[in-house]
Structure 1
Amino acid sequence: MSKRILTISILILTSFFVSCSQDKSEQKSQQQAVVTAPKIEAIVKVEPFNAPESPVITEDQAKKYAKASAGLVELGVSWTDRIEKAQDNEKVQILNAYNVARDQLCARVGLAGIAEYNWITEVALKEEGNKAAFEAAGIKIQ
């Protein structure tokens, strides 16, 4: 009986140490994955955007919005292949980089990042008083 208890105890201790060593190797591989992940750094400073009280925008803002719209379409086309071809563990990193690229594109044309672009899309486009500004920028509103 004591031999059985001793054998079972040894098996339990052995399985514990094996599982602990596997956990450590998994942690090391996860740490390496984090270390090798590409760093995403902004090249252009993106100004913080606070939505104005009035939904009316200027013709200049409408022109910047038109440029950003065209750029975002091109950006989406170029990143679609990367996202579709990426392995599952890379997709999150690629999507994060894509979001940074969208923010950077909007900042480069003069908007306060993707936040201002989204505000114009959701609020200013619906404002009847902005129709002339958008049409001057080449955007037809129906």
Structure 2
Amino acid sequence: MSKRILAISILAIASFFIACNDKSDVKPDVEQMQSAMPKTVPIVKVDPFVAPAEPVITQDQAHKYVKASAALVELGVSWSKKIEEAREGEKVQILDAYNVARDQLCARIGLAGIAEYNWITEVALPNPRNIPFFEAAGLKK
């Protein structure tokens, strides 16, 4: 059930940030198009992340990290085609929207955005004291 909610949330975020392209329409100038498009506004509040003094996580953080990892892979797959097919002027805007979507996804799962996810990846994951938490959450090295 939570996978469906997550999938629907990801699709909603993606559809919010990317408009359908119709090849038959006359395309406006890139600058006009960028100024006319809505600015990305986060849907959920992303708490600021402050790295703890000790690089030890909780079991709950490990579960959230594993869930976020799987969801971020799916998000990356769904956005990669849009990024590859975008025209040069659109790529920056799509990449910005993708970064917001990653932050939103992590916040919806319960992390303090992509900043906490990155901290866990770079600092907590290599820490041997966290191995039991990650293994219990289903992450194997």
- Counterpart CA distance in 2 for 1:112 and 1:65 is 11
Given the alignment of the two structures, is residue 93 of structure 1 paired with residue 93 of structure 2, yes or no? yes
Alignment of 1:21-100 (within 5 A): 32-100=32-100
Structure 1 segments, 4+ long, off by >4 Å, are none
The total of aligned residue pairs comes to 113
**TM-align CA RMSD:** 1.2
The structure richer in helix per residue is 1
- Counterpart CA distance in 1 for 2:111 and 2:30 is 38
Listed one character per residue, the Cα deviations across residues 57-88 of structure 1 (whole Å, up to 9, x for unaligned) are: 00100000000000000000000010001000
- Counterpart CA distance in 2 for 1:88 and 1:31 is 12
Listed one character per residue, the Cα deviations across residues 16-39 of structure 1 (whole Å, up to 9, x for unaligned) are: xxxxxxxxxxxxx67633421331
Q: Residue 12 of structure 2 aligns with which residue?
A: none
Residues 30 and 131 of structure 1, relative CA distance in 2, 3 Å threshold: closer
Q: Residue 15 of structure 1 aligns with which residue?
A: none
For structure 1, the 5+ residue unaligned runs are 1-28
Which structure has the greater CA radius of gyration?
1
- Counterpart CA distance in 2 for 1:63 and 1:30 is 42
Residues 118 and 84 of structure 1, relative CA distance in 2, 3 Å threshold: same
